[in-house]
Amino acid sequence: MASGAAGGGKEERVLLVGGNWKMNGSVDLIGQFGREDSIVSTEGVQVLVAPPSLYLVPAQAVLSPRCLLASQTVSEHGRGAFTGEISASMLMDVAIKWTLIGHSERRTLYGEDDARVRAKLCTAWAAGLSVILCVGESLQVRSQGDKAAEAFVCSQLEASLAPASGGAAATGISFDNPRPIEKDEDEAISGHDAEPAAQQHQRLVIAYEPIWAIGTGQVASAAAAQRMHAIIRHWLAAQFGPSLARHIRIIYGGSVTAAGAEELIQQVDIDGFLVGGASLKPAEFGTIIQTVKRQKAKGVQ
- Angle ∠(240,104,70) on CA atoms, nearest 5: 70
CB of 177 to ligand PGA, least distance (A): 30
* Polymer length in residues for the chain: 301
201 is catalytic: no
Pairwise CA distance, residues 100 & 115, whole Å: 16
Nearer to ligand PGA, 6 or 214 (CB): 214
Task: State yes or no: residue 136 binds ligand PGA (CB under 6 A).
Answer: no
Given a contact cutoff of 8 angstroms between Cβ atoms, the answer to whether 118 and 81 are in contact is no
Task: State yes or no: residue 256 binds ligand PGA (CB under 6 A).
Answer: yes
Nearer to ligand PGA, 220 or 268 (CB): 220
Task: State yes or no: residue 128 binds ligand PGA (CB under 6 A).
Answer: no
- Check 76, 137, 185, 209 and give the catalytic one: 209
Task: Provide the mask over 6-25, with x wherever binding to ligand PGA is found by CB under 6 A and - wherever it is not.
Answer: --------------x-----
Helices and strands of the chain, counted as H and E runs: 12, 8
Pairwise CA distance, residues 192 & 61, whole Å: 21
Q: Which of residues 174-213 bind ligand PGA (CB under 6 A)?
A: 209
Given a contact cutoff of 8 angstroms between Cβ atoms, the answer to whether 52 and 69 are in contact is no
SS3 273: strand
105 is catalytic: no
Given a contact cutoff of 8 angstroms between Cβ atoms, the answer to whether 179 and 128 are in contact is yes
Nearer to ligand PGA, 160 or 200 (CB): 160
Q: How many CB atoms neighbour CB 113 within 10 A?
A: 11
Task: State yes or no: residue 254 binds ligand PGA (CB under 6 A).
Answer: yes
Task: Provide the mask over 275-294, with x wherever binding to ligand PGA is found by CB under 6 A and - wherever it is not.
Answer: xxxx----------------
CB of 196 to ligand PGA, least distance (A): 32
Nearer to ligand PGA, 235 or 273 (CB): 273
- Check 103, 229, 234, 247 and give the catalytic one: 103
Nearest Cα to 273, choosing from 7, 17, 15, 14?
17
CB of 274 to ligand PGA, least distance (A): 4
**Alpha-carbon torsion (207, 210, 216, 222), positive or negative:** negative
- Give the range of 60-68, 193-201, 274-282, 290-298 binding ligand PGA by CB under 6 A: 274-282
Given a contact cutoff of 8 angstroms between Cβ atoms, the answer to whether 48 and 99 are in contact is no
Q: Which of residues 211-250 bind ligand PGA (CB under 6 A)?
A: 214-215
Q: Which residues here bind ligand PGA, judged by CB under 6 A?
A: 20, 209, 214-215, 253-256, 274-278
Mind telling me the catalytic residues? 103, 209
